[in-house]
Amino acid sequence: MKAIVTILILVSSTSCFPQTNVLVFSGINFPTFPLREGSFYLEEYWLNGINFGVTTEFEVNNRFSVAPSFEYNLYFFDSYDGLTAIEPEMLFQFAEGENSRIYRFLLEMKYFPEISPESKTQPFILSGLGYVVEDIGNIKAFYNVDGLDILLNPTFKSKKYLVHSIGIGIRWPLIKTLMLNLEGKIFTDYKSRFQNSWNLGLLFNI
C-alpha cells in the first residue's frame, strides 16, 4: 500500500507532462464470478454496486498516458434467504443487512491508437494495478426454534488485496476543453475476486 501511495504522489506532483486531464466519473459495478467468503456467495445478498471516482491523467505523448485514480463503490443490501441454517427445525423469519463498500486505488496506463484526423471519437485501451480495501457488510438473520427467537449474525472481515485492471474506452469531444468518456473495466486478483464496471464521465483539460 505504501509503495502505491508513493507512486501516486510522485506521478501527481510531477510537472514534466505536456498535458494533464481530470476525469470525474460514475457507473455500475457488478460481480461476474462468485465472490465467495467461506460458505457464503456474496453476490447473492447484495445488489450490483454503484461507483464514483476521479482520475488524474498525465499525457506522456500522443499515444500514452499515466492515470492514477480513486474509486468508491457502494453495494446496497438486497436479501438473505436463510438457507445456510444447519438445523432443519430452524424456521427462517427475516434478515437485515448492512451495505458493502469497496475502495480502489489504481495506477493505470492508457494507450490511444492512431485514428483518422476526421474521426470524432478517440478509442483507447488500459491496464494497471490497484490496491483494494473491501468492507463487506454484516448480516442479521432471525430464526424461530420451538417458539424461541434466535439471531444469527454472519460477519465478514475487511479484506485488502491487489488487483489487475484491464479495459477499453472511447471519448467524444463536447467542447475544446471537455470530453465525454465511456469505459469498461475488469478487476481481478486471479483468486476469488472478479468484477467489472462500466463508467461514464467528463474529462476536463487543465
What does pLDDT average to over the chain?
Answer: 84
75 occurs within a structural domain: yes
147 occurs within a structural domain: no
* 138-to-24, 90, 144, 158 alpha-carbon distances in Å: 30, 20, 20, 11
List helix spans (H) across the chain.
2-13
Confidence at residue 170, expressed as pLDDT on a 0 to 100 scale: 97
93 occurs within a structural domain: no
142 occurs within a structural domain: no
The pLDDT > 90 percentage for the chain reads 46
CATH number of the domain where residue 169 is located: 2.40.160.20
122 occurs within a structural domain: yes
CB atoms inside a 10 Å sphere around CB 150: 15
168 occurs within a structural domain: yes
pTM value is: 0.81
152 occurs within a structural domain: no
140 occurs within a structural domain: no
Domain containing 6: what range? Answer: 2-79+99-134+157-205
Encode pLDDT of 105-158 as tens digits: 999 999 999 988 888 899 999 999 999 998 888 888 888 888 888 888 877 888
Confidence of residue 32 (pLDDT cuts 50, 70, 90): low
148 compared with 32, residue with greater pLDDT: 148
The pairing of strands 139-145 and 148-152 is antiparallel
- One DSSP character per residue, 43-69 reads GGTBPPEEEEEEEEEEESSSSEEEEEE
Domains of the chain: total: 1
